[in-house]
Chains A and B, each alone.
Chain A
Amino acid sequence: DAKTTQPPSMDCAEGRAANLPCNHSTISGNEYVYWYRQIHSQGPQYIIHGLKNNETNEMASLIITEDRKSSTLILPHATLRDTAVYYCIVRGNNNDMRFGAGTRLTVKP
């Protein structure tokens, strides 16, 4: 079973920041939080991951709360091409990734 909870859908205006929340209240101390996205009929695309510190790369920022029970993925300037299903995943020591339902983000002009 997935260890994360995400809202089923969100809308965002083009050019604005998209903030996608994720709850992972049962996360263990050595489990990482990963974010992937999937555009229709394609394989998942890696976005970012982190353990406890906030992370930033060319695609997004990941904000993890101090207690690590939740996180937020931030797409700073959403474009129409960012419309996709975004998955927040807690990855354990056994290396596998189990997907939850994800959030369907729709970026609108």
Chain B
Amino acid sequence: GAVVSQHPSWVICKSGTSVKIECRSLDFQATTMFWYRQFPKQSLMLMATSNEGSKATYEQGVEKDKFLINHASLTLSTLTVTSAHPEDSSFYICSASAPGGGNTGELFFGEGSRLTVL
């Protein structure tokens, strides 16, 4: 089946620095990718929808200037956490929809990236 890969799988950074997380669709072109955040013992929370070649659509309460999303190609979307703080420590997960699937196709999830901000 289709594969979505995230990198890095885990990262530790100092408070105030920026961290970039990559999400790649390895064997299909993804016109739409989604970014989620998951805190311990909680469910996944949708942060934003990323469409190739256009600006991301952010969910209410998610700061777009803090969580920069770029979807420059059909196989790559990046999430940059700017000026990270300890409260940004979380498990970040991306997903990608295969083209033409609409709401009937499978949404493929990456393995997740665990961010720890010291």
Task: List chain A positions with a Cβ less than 8 A from chain B.
Answer: 2, 30-32, 34, 36, 38, 41-46, 49, 51, 87, 91-102
By Cβ-Cβ distance, the 6 closest A-B pairs, closest first, are A43-B109, A99-B44, A99-B43, A44-B109, A91-B103, A43-B112
In the assembled complex, which residues on chain B have CB atoms less than 8 Å from the CB atom of A42? 111-112
Is the beta-carbon distance between B103 and A31 smaller than 8 angstroms?
A: yes
Known: A32-B104, A93-B103. A43 touches B43 (CB 8 A): no
Q: Mark B36-69, 1 if CB is under 8 A from A, else 0.
A: 1000000111100100000000000000000000
Size of the chain B interface, CB-CB below 8 angstroms: 26
Smallest CB-CB separation from A48: which chain B residue?
A: B106
Inter-chain pairs besides A32-B104, A46-B107, A95-B32, 18 sampled, C-beta below 8 Å: A32-B103, A34-B107, A41-B114, A43-B111, A43-B112, A46-B106, A49-B104, A51-B104, A87-B43, A93-B102, A94-B103, A95-B97, A95-B102, A96-B49, A97-B107, A98-B46, A99-B45, A99-B46
| Residues of B close to A96: CB separation below 8 A | 34, 46, 49
Interface of B is mostly: strand
Q: For residue A93, which residues in chain B have a CB less than 8 angstroms away from its CB?
A: 102-103
User: Nearest CB to that of A92 among chain B residues?
Assistant: B103
Give the chain B neighbours of A99 by CB distance below 8 A. Answer: 36, 43-46
